[in-house]
Amino acid sequence: MDSDKVLHTCCFFGHRTMNETEELISQLRAIIETLITDKKVDTFLFGSKSRFNDLCHETVTKIKEKYPHIKRIYVRAEYPDIDDSYKAYLLKSYEDTYYPNKIKGSGRAVYVERNYEMINNSKFCIVYYDEQNAPTTRKSGTKIALEFALKMKKHIIHVK
């Protein structure tokens, strides 16, 4: 993605499970609208496999009614090659989808690599990370993504 496009792009990452509250939903909506109106964000990158991601997609989809120019892009970590019917299914919920070539062969790290792709192609990252609810039996994918976003000096917006 070219550097001008990155300036107007936001990605989301967070835990698979979360404490979903009306306050969080309102906070998320306000943050996304402010990014659109004040920072000229027009592209939102989504992954999969988390309730936080689903909530963000639902929120952006509602906001799209007010700001029809914004784009929702699904960055796949599975299915490098998809047929026309699956692509048509995805394009009912997104304006575009792609599988990053550089994550091919990543094995179990494919979701981490996909998150790096989204972070590298965004200026803003909206993050739901709760240390107390992070997994203890493995390293949290959300924590790995957050550490990478910090290292890459992205504008990180924490929500809880």
Q: What is the mean pLDDT of the chain?
A: 93
How much is the average pLDDT of 99-114?
93
Kindly list the strands in the beta sheet with 124-128, ordered across the sheet, starting from the edge strand earlier in the chain: 96-98, 71-75, 43-46, 9-14, 124-128, 155-158
Residues whose CB falls within 8 Å of the CB of residue 31, separated by 6 or more in sequence, listed in order:
126, 157, 159
pLDDT at 133 over 90: no
Contact status, residue 15 vs residue 49, Cβ threshold 8 Å: no
Domains, the chain, with CATH or none:
10-108+117-133+150-158 (3.40.50.450)
Q: For residue 1, what pLDDT is reported?
A: 63
How far is the C-alpha of 80 from the C-alpha of 135, rounded, in Å?
28
pLDDT(125) > 90: yes
| Token duo for residue 66 | 């007010």
Mean pLDDT of 32-49: 96
Specify the pLDDT at position 135.
63
Is the per-residue pLDDT at 132 higher than 90? no
Rounded to an integer, the average pLDDT of 12-25 is 90
Would you state the pLDDT for residue 136?
Answer: 65
Q: Give the contacts of 5 (CB within 8 A, at least 6 positions apart).
A: 43, 121
> Span 23-29, mean pLDDT?
96
Four-CA torsion 63, 28, 32, 55, nearest 10 degrees? -60
Helix (H) or strand (E) holding 96: strand 96-98
Please determine, for residue 137, whether its predicted confidence score (pLDDT) is greater than 80: no
Residue type, 133: N
Give the model confidence (pLDDT) of 59-74 as tens digits. 999 999 999 999 999 9
